[in-house]
Amino acid sequence: MPLTPATDADLDTMREQLGRPMRGVVGIAARCACGNPTVVATEPRLPDGTPFPTFYYLTHPGATAAMSALEATQVMRELSELLSEDEDVATAYAAAHRAYLADRAHYGDVPEIEGISAGGMPTRVKCLHALAAHSLAAGAGVNPIGDLALARGDWSPSVCTCVSPRVAG
């Protein structure tokens, strides 16, 4: 799905969500039901020159907490086993990896991270936050592991749990 521009209000919200200033933001890739950013898209090379492979980064505290909770359970192992045992899932996950790299490539060619996406793609499950961020950005049906992680987590993009929900208008 196309990025939406990051407004000053978005940058302020994400600074609150993450507790640090934002760097190299190119847009917002997914939003909460209230409009707050859920996934930020970041340049593959930060303004200070650092390569940054995680193009889609989960910012929403509710989503982040849900993925952290899942990572503390057996879900990582389950999803890893699914990936190694189900050819269709493995094929879709490899395609998700390529889609991720293609999305990022629009924002510059960074040789240091060429072929490196996020979350363990294309063959491992290492970070549910990164995989869920990709699923939220791309929409259902692109990243099978991210989709499953979101389905298993106790957070939904359609129900606002923000500490400071965005007020319309």
**Nearer CB in complex with Zn ion: 18/82:** 18
CB of 164 to Zn ion, least distance (A): 8
What are the backbone dihedrals phi and psi of residue 12, each rounded to the nearest 5 degrees, phi first? -65, -45
Site for Zn ion in 18-37 (CB under 5 A): 32, 34, 36
Angle at 166 between CA 25 and CA 56, to 5 degrees: 30
| Using rule CB under 5 A, residue 64 touches Zn ion | no
CB of 3 to Zn ion, least distance (A): 18
Cα separation of 143 and 46, whole Å? Answer: 25
| Residue appearing with tokens 């491992």 | 124
Q: What one-character DSSP code corresponds to residue 112?
A: G
Burial 113-139 (b: 16+ CB within 10 A, else e): beebbbbbbbeebebbbbbbbbbbbbe
CB of 16 to Zn ion, least distance (A): 12
CB of 165 to Zn ion, least distance (A): 5
| Using rule CB under 5 A, residue 58 touches Zn ion | no
**Nearer CB in complex with Zn ion: 34/82:** 34
Site for Zn ion in 109-168 (CB under 5 A): 160, 162, 165
Centre a 10 Å sphere on the Cβ of residue 168 and count the other Cβ atoms it contains. Answer: 6
CB of 68 to Zn ion, least distance (A): 18
Which positions touch Zn ion (CB under 5 A)? 32, 34, 36, 160, 162, 165
